[in-house]
Amino acid sequence: MIVFSDANELQAPFAKRIKEKLGDKLLVGTVGSITSGKQANQLLEEGLDVVLVGRMFQKNPGLVWSFAEELGTQIQVANQIRWGFGGRPAAPKERKL
C-alpha cells in the first residue's frame, strides 16, 4: 500500500527519493496537485529537475505568468506576446545614408 505523506504534492516524495539515488544520471520531475509558484519553486530547489502542472493550466492558461508574478520574477516570451502586456517599443528612427 502507498501512503502519501503530503496529499498536496502526491508524487513529489517519490520523485525526490529517486533523484537522491540517481543524481545527475537522469532528469527527474514530478506532477500532481502543484498549485502555486512557491510550491513548484520549492520542489526545484529541493533538487527536482522539472515540475509539471496539469489541471491548474486548464483553469488558468496564463499560469506561467501567475507563477512568475507570485515569485517576483520575469519570464521570457515571444515579442509579439509581450507587446500585448507591455506595449510595443518605438520603431527605430530612419537613418540617413
With binding defined as CB under 6 A, does residue 34 bind ligand FMN? yes
With binding defined as CB under 6 A, does residue 30 bind ligand FMN? no
Longest dimension (CA), the chain: 77
Of 12, 15, 19, 33, the one binding ligand FMN by CB under 6 A: 33
Q: Which amino acid is at 72?
A: G
DSSP designation for 25? G
With binding defined as CB under 6 A, does residue 54 bind ligand FMN? yes
With binding defined as CB under 6 A, does residue 13 bind ligand FMN? no
Residues 36 and 70 sit within 8 Å (Cβ to Cβ): yes
Other residues' Cβ atoms within 10 Å of the Cβ of residue 32: 17
Of 13, 18, 29, 32, the one binding ligand FMN by CB under 6 A: 32
Provide the binding-site residues for ligand FMN, judged by CB under 6 A: 31-34, 53-56
